[in-house]
Structure 1
């Protein structure tokens, strides 16, 4: 009798194991956790893994070495708010209508050939006449954003840090600008803010590591005002003294300290993911919202700066790690941009794309495993003016002036970059493989390619409703 009972028990156990194994095999794989860490104003070469010579980013460098370095990653806009709107909504700036945080052009209106709303213009009647297209500082709540796309797929989401898109939380379960509850405030210049944000991010990861989660950790560093912990800045002061005199003016110890604060944050987040044993099911992305400032960032050989559609304004340091999916130590030179993240995250989560809202980006998840995506153009549009390093020209009195931002549309397709200068109805055509600094305009020597790319820009402007300033500015004193 005992023998029969033993045999029956063994058969039942084997049958149960078989059922459990079959059930496990038939289960859908759990969608990955997604962590997106965004720095503010970090230049393309301000990290060790992108070529920094003075700044110390050991955690970011290790992170990039364990994943993939995206050498042709671009922000959706040349400054903060436009990029964040593109990232969250998957739409280009003409659709979300966010071009600049200030809602108007900056700089001397007398040097603006086209009539656009200008902050420094004193003639309010003329400013009203200039307002021929909509500019907003807030993302319309009607836009469906990443957390709203992911929620039906079972995701819990948090935005910790800078939002810069208005009062709506756009579906985040947790929204905090400094790690504490309350309405959004700016925390620029707080030397401890990166640590505070990271503390809250780690708690969110711990509290939600057994369910799919989306964490958007968005730093205020390295935005102005530049302030750092004194002991960290002092260490870089000593490092600066060891450099030859002619090199010292290129680096700012306080800024280096802010870069280090972001680097430390990334290291802490990665360590927490590893500690919890979820690295094989967690995609971690690091990027910046736009290019850097020439006073502190290492921009060469790129042209322009933050606020410019030249490369230094929109090319950003970007790396991704997903243990077991992304091969360690790999590089991707396929251009990607901010609008690609919403459709990519939706695909990874098995979520539906928003409708009827257009999605301008594409799913680039194939790149993570070394695959390819269809060749396409990516676009930028800026209908205003912003002074700074970029497009220099002579002004009366024998002086020069420079716009970093100017009415323009730009496109990148493969190795080719085209900028359409709306003031003069001319273009710049650059081969970025041979001329990453955009110094040699090839437009005159390649008329067929110019015609092809201009037609593509024209079609894109029409399809997105991109505003094209066309009224001459009666205040302009230029020839």
Structure 2
């Protein structure tokens, strides 16, 4: 009897010790930060010293992707572990269906308190996340975070989620970069106005990095070594061929995970992961219950150095953004190839940038139109932006900027057929109805512009 009691008491002790060893968690999100626009991913002009230091201390994912390149569906996929067609947040500014679980609830069931600051979920979804505390203001994040924790007692494991609005438009007018010295992708039109806006975007990226550094230093001192730190961005930047597109500039995201003494410092992995995998991974690492039938899955073994293989394909969807972007797209990407299916090839692709042309956002578009009048290459870029073929196929190894559509190339027909079939099967499995949520802009009609948008709004 005494032996049984001893075993029982030992089991209670071990269980209590494990509970006390649960790591704290920090999830830090940028808004519209392009994956190449950070130092640890090779940026040459824009400076991100604090992010670069995090990369040295943790693991960098070279092939991390989001579920959908618009704010609301991307963040809904992160928080539910489900792709847009399954959770219900497909079009931008829409939210998961009633009854869809937010995965942070599983952390709370395991004794965690969730403290959220800034833009974590999107819009009203923040009100449905059951945070233990939520500070909705998106400015002065370092001040907000420090003021809260300086007067809050931490009596158990915590998950701190911080969402900075930068570098979402409108970009700052407090410019710290010289426009003539910024670098531009080859598929941009090089104008004075483009460079000025690029410098403002870079200034916001560096501003994000500065606040990130302050918050990380404060929180790590507060929470201690046993803390998992995750940094990422909800999708690419609001530039042509970025946000609202399924090119890598829209769907590939910076991702770094740090956990002292658990994750080896300074590692890079080529494993392919998705935003839907992040919370299942954190649930796994903390011993929290993981729901069945998620699209996301744990990549804990990647972090702990037990394997370097995870996903073979990444699926991504986009279903539009109100009346500004009515252009649904689906894609499948492997490490070598990408296949894109444009559901409305007979319609114009547009978004807020080219339609509204706001200062600090898309105002450079006027200079693009002007350049296209005399520059054939500029005209080709604009044409490629507005009009897309039904299918696109890229060799990402030979053509990482996705400039050479190989859909008709005889050499790649086997690969194209395979990825086309896999995407179709996946869409069927997802119950993707390929819904077009708004009236599209037919190529046979006028090219959409600000006047047309204003007329649509006025007639509603």
Q: Which residue of 2 aligns with 1:372?
A: 308
Q: Which residue of 2 aligns with 1:193?
A: 140
Q: Which residue of 1 aligns with 2:205?
A: 259
Q: What's the CA shift string for 1:139-186, capped at 9, x where partnerless?
A: 3351111221111111111221113152533231112212xxxxxxxx
**Structure 1 residue 240: Cα displacement:** 5.2
Q: Which residue of 1 aligns with 2:333?
A: 412
* Residues 114 and 160, structure 2, Cα contact 8 Å, conserved in 1: yes
**Structure 1 residue 267: Cα displacement:** 1.3
1:351 paired with 2:288, answer: yes
Matches within 5 A, 1:6-155: 27-28=17-18, 30-102=21-93, 137-155=94-112
- Aligned to 2:50, what secondary structure does the other structure show? helix
2 CA distance for matches of 1:378 and 1:369?
22
**Structure 1 residue 469: Cα displacement:** 4.8
- Aligned to 2:308, what secondary structure does the other structure show? coil
1:157 paired with 2:114, answer: yes
1:177 paired with 2:177, answer: no
* Residues 169 and 238, structure 2, Cα contact 8 Å, conserved in 1: no
Q: Flag the structure with larger Rg.
A: 1
- Aligned to 1:333, what secondary structure does the other structure show? strand
* Residues 202 and 269, structure 1, Cα contact 8 Å, conserved in 2: no
1:250 paired with 2:195, answer: yes
Matches within 5 A, 1:367-446: 367-370=302-305, 371-384=307-320, 406-423=327-344, 426-444=390-408, 445-446=411-412
* Residues 149 and 353, structure 1, Cα contact 8 Å, conserved in 2: yes
* Residues 194 and 221, structure 1, Cα contact 8 Å, conserved in 2: no
Give the TM-score normalised by structure 2: 0.73
1:288 paired with 2:233, answer: yes
Q: What's the CA shift string for 1:343-388, capped at 9, x where partnerless?
A: 1111112111235xx3101111111123234433221122447899
- Aligned to 1:71, what secondary structure does the other structure show? strand
- Aligned to 2:124, what secondary structure does the other structure show? coil
Pick closer, same or farther for the CA change 1:333–1:278 going to 2, 3 Å: same
Q: Which residue of 1 aligns with 2:6?
A: none
Pick closer, same or farther for the CA change 1:275–1:195 going to 2, 3 Å: closer
1:458 paired with 2:424, answer: yes
Q: What's the CA shift string for 1:109-137, capped at 9, x where partnerless?
A: xxxxxxxxxxxxxxxxxxxxxxxxxxxx2
**Structure 1 residue 243: Cα displacement:** 7.6
* Residues 91 and 321, structure 2, Cα contact 8 Å, conserved in 1: no
RCO (CA 8 Å, sep 6+): is it higher in 1 or 2?
1
**Structure 1 residue 69: Cα displacement:** 1.5
1 CA distance for matches of 2:239 and 2:26?
29
2 CA distance for matches of 1:474 and 1:260?
37
2 CA distance for matches of 1:202 and 1:332?
34
2 CA distance for matches of 1:474 and 1:34?
43
1:222 paired with 2:167, answer: yes
2 CA distance for matches of 1:155 and 1:349?
10
2 CA distance for matches of 1:474 and 1:35?
41
**Structure 1 residue 194: Cα displacement:** 3.4
Pick closer, same or farther for the CA change 1:417–1:25 going to 2, 3 Å: same
2 CA distance for matches of 1:45 and 1:201?
33
The partner residue of 2:269 within 320, 326, 332 is 332
2 CA distance for matches of 1:292 and 1:375?
25
**Structure 1 residue 442: Cα displacement:** 3.2
Pick closer, same or farther for the CA change 1:446–1:201 going to 2, 3 Å: farther
Pick closer, same or farther for the CA change 1:470–1:25 going to 2, 3 Å: closer
Pick closer, same or farther for the CA change 1:474–1:368 going to 2, 3 Å: closer
Give the TM-score normalised by structure 1: 0.71
User: Could you list the runs of 5+ residues in structure 1 that have no partner in the other structure?
Assistant: 1-18, 103-136, 179-186, 296-303, 389-402
